[in-house]
Structure 1
Amino acid sequence: MIVRAAIPLLVEIGPSVTTLQIARAAGISEPTIFRAFEDKNEVLAACLAEVTDPHHTVRELAAIEPSLPLRDRLVALIEVLRAQAERTGAVVNAVSLAGAARPRRQESLSDEERRRLSDGRTASYRSLHAAVVATFETGADTLRGSPEDAATLVLAIVMALGRGGGWDAGPASVSTDGLADLLLHGLAA
């Protein structure tokens, strides 16, 4: 409840969000936060863990109606992935600017920590990939390649746009509809 209330505030306000604002959004008193968390940094770390867990995104992708036309399913899945990327980026940025829950540099991690981190990322990607594949299974015969190949391509492009700020880059910005049309029809007329 606290983390769910804090995430939209981190996205909207950034690192200057206060525990009082979080408490009000959660409908609790501020001291209640400190019964669950040691301090604001611990709340921010929990928010970071929550937004980087793909389970919400997987659930949203699974809710895309399979009977929709391919273009509509593609637009819906791009919107889900885009919203998740924007939310995650905003929270990571806010947590980083707050100086909280900062991950250690890769070089300072033990081999075991590096392996666990890599395994976690791989598992997250696989669950997202499987959910995207499922959106392409209906009407798979209309695709040039397999649903797996389509999912890999869509995830690669959406993730790259999310990292590079291409969604909202002024004159170089990319719209969801524009990306869906490009993926469906290519560049050629």
Structure 2
Amino acid sequence: MPPRAAPLAAEDRRTAILDALIPLLVEKGGDVTTKEIAQAAGIAEGTIFRVFPDKASLLFAAAEEAINPAGGQEAFDEALAGITDLRMSIVVAAGRILERMRLTMSVMGAVRPYLAAMYHDASAEKKKQIPHGPPEFMLKAQRDLHDRLTGLFEPYADQLAVDPATAALALRALTFGAARPEWGMAPALTPDEIADLVLDGIRAPGRPSRRTAREK
């Protein structure tokens, strides 16, 4: 008989559960059952509740992992490894952000109604303990992304007309506005188009502004 595999550490078990859950949320929404999650993760249903105290905590963790995955910086660095061209770095970064946005919107769409219902059913005292505004993990995800993109531009600072942090803001703004299906907008900008706009803007080369033309 082969030796039994060593049990996973708690953090590895948590990761395995979330890795199984996120695709299920995209496919089935927030009504996915813990039995279905356990089957996808290859574990007993009770194991889930040895890692997460309840389903709300599980869904909250899935949302956090979707928007800002553990090891995100390492994966970002790996994707850019060996790239020494500014434009190609922007193309790769924009493509990754767009892909992550699509996943995040699917997961948040699945989780939000369930968590909203829990808030509605909570006692008045419990509601007082819930902070207003975006959850901290969403704010942290935005800070981490900004730092990540600032780091992308820093090696190319001598090629920029603005500082790397401002360049990071421009890339974030264009990418986040490139695909908003919840507003009825189909993806309008590809990673290549985003890179061109970040680097070259929208004015044709050599074209004067209206003010300049009027002054002439």
Shorter-chain TM-score category?
0.7 to 0.9
Residue identity matched to 1:113 = P
Structure 1 unaligned runs (5+)? none
**Which residue number in structure 2 is paired with residue 9 of structure 1?**
24
Residue identity matched to 1:48 = A
Task: Measure the CA separation in 2 of the matches of 1:144 and 1:103.
Answer: 49
Q: How does 1:158-169 map to 2 (within 5 A)?
A: 158-161=175-178, 164-165=180-181, 169=185
Contact 1:6/1:25, CA 8 A, preserved across alignment: yes
Give the alignment's TM-score, normalised by structure 2.
0.68
Cα deviation code 1:155-184 (max 9, x no counterpart): 12223345x3389934x6322222222222
Residue 52 (structure 1) shift: 3.8
Aligned equivalent of 1:133, options 150, 155, 171: 150
Identity %: 32
* 16-25 or 126-135: bigger deviation: 16-25
**Which residue number in structure 1 is paired with residue 195 of structure 2?**
180
Residue 153 (structure 1) shift: 0.9
**Which residue number in structure 1 is paired with residue 100 of structure 2?**
84
Q: Label 1:123 to 1:21 Cα distance change in 2 as closer, same or farther (>3 A).
A: closer
Specify which structure has the bigger relative contact order, considering alpha-carbon pairs within 8 angstroms and separated by 6 or more residues.
1
Cα deviation code 1:39-75 (max 9, x no counterpart): 4443212212323446543333333226431121101
Higher helix share: 1
Q: How does 1:1-189 map to 2 (within 5 A)?
A: 1-53=16-68, 55-63=70-78, 64-65=80-81, 67-97=83-113, 99-100=114-115, 113-114=131-132, 122-161=139-178, 164-165=180-181, 169-170=185-186, 173-189=188-204
Structure 2 unaligned runs (5+)? 1-15, 121-126, 205-216
| Greater C-alpha radius of gyration | 2
Residue 78 (structure 1) shift: 0.8
Give the alignment's TM-score, normalised by structure 1.
0.76
Q: Label 1:75 to 1:113 Cα distance change in 2 as closer, same or farther (>3 A).
A: same
